[in-house]
Structure formats: C-alpha cells, structure tokens
Chains A and B, each alone.
Chain A
Amino acid sequence: MESRYIIISYGQLALSALLILVNVGLSMALKLGLARSLVIATLRMVVQLLLIGIVLEWLFTQDNPWVIVAISLVMTSVAGMAAVNRTQQRFVGIYWNSLLSVLASSALVTGFAMAGIIQVQPWYDPQYLIPLLGMVLGNTLNGISLGLDRFMEGLASQQDQVEMLLTLGATRWEAAHHQVRDAIRVGMIPTINSMMVMGLVSLPGMMTGQILAGANPIDAVRYQIVIMFMIAAGTALGVFGVVLFAYYRLFSANHQLRLDHLYQARR
C-alpha cells in the first residue's frame, strides 16, 4: 500500500514528548502538584496506545469473522460496564441492563452502517468495523451513564411527586413518564450539542485523521456525517433501552415506586 502521509519515527515521537515538559514545567513553577499525575497519565497514554496499535495491526490481518466478533463483544462489554461505573446509584442487575442496551443498540447501528450504508465487503472487515464500533460505543457509553444517573437521581429527588401521581390513580408509566423523558433528553444532549458546533468549533478527530492520511476532505466529511448519524442513533437507542430497563426495575407491576431497590455505589 502506498502511503500518502509522512510516517512518524520513534525518534520524532521522543521529540514530541518535549511538549509534555511544558506541562511539567508549569506545574513545578506554580506548585500545582500535578507533575506526578501528569507523568503517570503520559506513560499510560503512550503505553496503551502503542499496545492498541500492535493489537490493531494484528487484528487487521485477521479474516476469521469469529475473532473479530469476539473482539467487538469485548469492546462492547467494557463500554457497558464503564457506563455503570460512572453512576452514583445502583440497583441489582444494572450491569446486565447496561450491557444489553449497549450491545443491542451498537450492533443494530453498526450492522446497518457496515452492511447497508457503507456496504463493506466482507461485512466484518476489521479496518471499518472496529473504528466505527469504537466511536459508537464511546458516545453511547457517555449517553447511557448520563441518562441512567439522571433517571435514578430524578426518581429519588422527585419521589413525592411520583408517588402523588400514583396515589391519584396514575399507572406506573404515567407516574414515571416525566422522569423517563428527562433522562433520555439528558443522555442525548452531548450528541446534539456536538452536532450543533461540528465543523464550526470542532474538527472531529476521525475526519482530521482521514485528511492527514491523505483522504480528500469532501470524502472525509462524508464519513464524518455517517458517523454522526450512527452515534446519534446508537446513543438514542442505548439510552432509551437502559432507562426502560431501569424503569421496570424501579417500578413494580403493582404500580409501586421501589426506591428500596436503589443503593449507593461504593467508591
């Protein structure tokens, strides 16, 4: 494959590390106490990325669909767990709820994009599947943790209103409706906001990457638009799924609000 971009050597990489010295220097001069975490964060970032580089290099040579599906499942599981880890409160089964929501929404959206929109041959080509899935997962995870947190928090703080509706004869859905809507709205806000300013304030990373790699900007933009639609759909489905699961967990079939099912996350 002919490269249309300049390859960065390890020597040049070391040179770029000088930039982090700006941070370290500032921290030491102003006694910010950040030097230690900066160094650790820098090392982690470098090691993690070099490792994933090796993994991806290996992965892109695979043509066994099962290997690629297995890797996708691992990524999805990590995203599902991470979404829950950021919430303040938990209920029994919350990890499974999150996992299932992330799995269903990302599989649906990424599958549709791979097979229906971009029409990659074969459908599991890791060069497309893994980056697309990764971007959908990263955003869905964000939306899910925001939406889930808001839903549990909203029910706990608005317990009086919710139970007032129940005592007046509301079904559990009528009583929860406001909180469900609110949670989904909060989960969707980051996606909507980023679409609003995209291209004006922010140049998305994927598009920038493609341009650096020599792609025609118009082609890169088209990819970015597809990605944003995937992210919007994946986040909406994921947030809706996880909030719906939580709703069934926190409202009994007897139309009771079961806040006793909630417990604080141990930190």
Chain B
Amino acid sequence: MGPSQPLLVANNLGRRLGERWLWRGVSFDLVAGECLGLVAPSGAGKTLLMRNLVLLDPCQQGEVRFAGKTPAEWTMPTYRTQVMYMPQRPAALDGTVQENLERVFELAVYGQQHFDPDKIKSWLQQLGRSPDFLHLQAARLSGGEAQILALLRGLQVNPRVLLLDEPTASLDGDATTRVEGLLSHWLQQPDHACVFTSHDTAQIHRVADRQLNLGDFN
C-alpha cells in the first residue's frame, strides 16, 4: 500500500429513518496517522454513522472501503478486525477483565494469535491502572472502567482504524488525558488512523486533525 492511498474511504453514505434522511452524501478519506473528529448536534446520528462504517446495520446508500477493498472483498469478520468500532457504552461478557480479553482470541478470525499479558500490562501502566484491574469482575466495572476494558480489548488485536464513540465520556480528567496520550502514541505507528466523537469541543480540537460536521449532510 502506497503512502498516498487512504486507509478508509467513505463514499456517499446515507442513512434513512423511516422516510427522512438523517444524513446523506457523507464522503471522506482517512489517511494514515490521521484522526478525524466527527461532530454533530446530539441525535444527528454520529453513532449510526460509526455503525454504518463497520456495517453493523445494512448500508442504505453508498459504500466503504478499507485499504482499497470493500468489506465483502475482505470478508466481513476480517474487515471488522481492521476497522474496529468501539461503542460509547461497551458490553462485557461474564467473568474477569482478563477472561474477557482472552475470549477474543477464541474467535476463528484470530487463528493462532493469543492473549499477551505483557502488552496489556504496559498499556495499563500508561493508563495509570494496576495489573489488578485484570482480575476485576467485568460485570461490576464502572462506566469508565468498562471503557478502558473495551479499549484494551480492541487494541490488543491490532486494528488499523479505530472508530471511537465518546471513548472518554465516563472517565475523569486525569484518566482522559492518559487515554488521549495512549491513543496519540498508537496513532504514530504506521498505517493507523481513527475517527473520534466527543461532546467536548475542546477535546475534539485537542485530538482531531480535522473535523467532519454531520449536520452539513441532511
């Protein structure tokens, strides 16, 4: 892949609710190293756009491509390991944090890859958490802790594009700074990029290289 080829391309996406188009004609290119801030009034469908980018919902208009290929060409599970969506309120399975992280590798798409505790512990350190975090019961995590679990769960399988829906909404100021630091470090690795939403305008200015306003597309 040449450096000039965009990682993720959204072409003329549209989303309808009943008869009304929530947004349509949404197009953008995301190049390596870039963080795109997605802004819009609440209820304008930021989350729905992210769901559309990983095809959790059927595409009503337009198409997406990752590294030049459509999701069908990648096969959907593989595409979703490359372009990973992290919802604002992440879900967890029964068991501890570590069991949740390990379970991911039982999916066929990861083949022989396995859980790497050292990598996770170094990320936990950057986030200011002790390794004991791994032994907490996932069902009893606070909103912010669940977001950290989701971040670790996604990062450990090395996706190329992250779609982060309010990733720090439930975190306090210090934890937010640490997550931002971890993400900006992650973005510096080759062929990584992200799309980011936040209700906090200052945060968008801090993390995003440019902005896309969904309100312009209805």
Interface range on chain B: under 10, 10 to 19, 20 to 34, or 35 or more? Answer: 20 to 34
A252 at the interface (CB under 8 A from B): yes
Given contacts A168-B80, A255-B77, contact A174 B56 (CB under 8 A): no
Q: Are B58 and A256 in contact (CB under 8 A)?
A: yes
Residues of A within 8 Å of B110, CB to CB, are: 169
Binary flags per residue of B80-104, CB closer than 8 Å to A gives 1, else 0: 1100111101111100000000001
Residues of A within 8 Å of B54, CB to CB, are: 167
Residues of B within 8 Å of A170, CB to CB, are: 77, 107, 109
Closest approach, in angstroms, between the C-beta of A73 and any C-beta of chain B?
Answer: 37
Residues of B within 8 Å of A174, CB to CB, are: 107-108
CA distance A136 to B152 in the complex (A): 50
Q: Are B108 and A171 in contact (CB under 8 A)?
A: yes
Residues of A within 8 Å of B151, CB to CB, are: none
Instruction: For B78, give its contact among A160, A163, A164, A169 (CB under 8 Å).
Output: A169
Instruction: For A168, give its contact among B55, B72, B84 (CB under 8 Å).
Output: B84
Q: Are A169 and B157 in contact (CB under 8 A)?
A: yes
Given contacts A254-B55, A254-B58, A256-B57, contact A165 B107 (CB under 8 A): yes
Interface residues of B: mostly helix, strand, loop or mixed? mixed
Binary flags per residue of B15-52, CB closer than 8 Å to A gives 1, else 0: 00000000000000000000000000000000000000
B76 at the interface (CB under 8 A from A): yes
Residues of A within 8 Å of B104, CB to CB, are: 168
Q: Which residue of B is nearest A159, CB measured? A: B91
Q: Which residue of A is nearest B106, CB measured? A: A174
CA distance A164 to B146 in the complex (A): 13
Residues of B within 8 Å of A165, CB to CB, are: 107
Give the A interface residue count (CB, 8 A).
18
Q: List 16 A-B contacts (CB under 8 A).
A: A160-B89, A164-B91, A166-B80, A167-B87, A168-B80, A168-B81, A169-B110, A169-B157, A170-B77, A170-B109, A171-B77, A174-B107, A254-B72, A255-B80, A256-B58, A257-B56
Residues of B within 8 Å of A169, CB to CB, are: 77-78, 80-81, 107, 109-110, 157
Closest approach, in angstroms, between the C-beta of B54 and any C-beta of chain A?
Answer: 6
B160 at the interface (CB under 8 A from A): no
Contacting A at CB under 8 A, from B111-149, are none
Closest approach, in angstroms, between the C-beta of A109 and any C-beta of chain B?
Answer: 34
B153 at the interface (CB under 8 A from A): yes
Residues of B within 8 Å of A163, CB to CB, are: 56, 87, 91
Given contacts A254-B76, A255-B77, contact A167 B107 (CB under 8 A): no
Q: Are B55 and A164 in contact (CB under 8 A)?
A: no
Given contacts A163-B56, A255-B76, contact A168 B91 (CB under 8 A): no
A119 at the interface (CB under 8 A from B): no
CA distance A79 to B84 in the complex (A): 45
Q: Which residue of A is nearest B51, CB measured? A: A163
Residues of A within 8 Å of B109, CB to CB, are: 169-171
Residues of B within 8 Å of A168, CB to CB, are: 80-81, 84, 104, 107, 153-154, 157
CA distance A254 to B63 in the complex (A): 14
Binary flags per residue of A242-267, CB closer than 8 Å to B gives 1, else 0: 00000000001011111000000000
CA distance A256 to B60 in the complex (A): 14
Closest approach, in angstroms, between the C-beta of A140 and any C-beta of chain B?
Answer: 31
Q: Are B154 and A256 in contact (CB under 8 A)?
A: no
Q: Are B90 and A164 in contact (CB under 8 A)?
A: yes
CA distance A256 to B76 in the complex (A): 9
Residues of A within 8 Å of B55, CB to CB, are: 254, 256
CA distance A167 to B81 in the complex (A): 7
A161 at the interface (CB under 8 A from B): yes
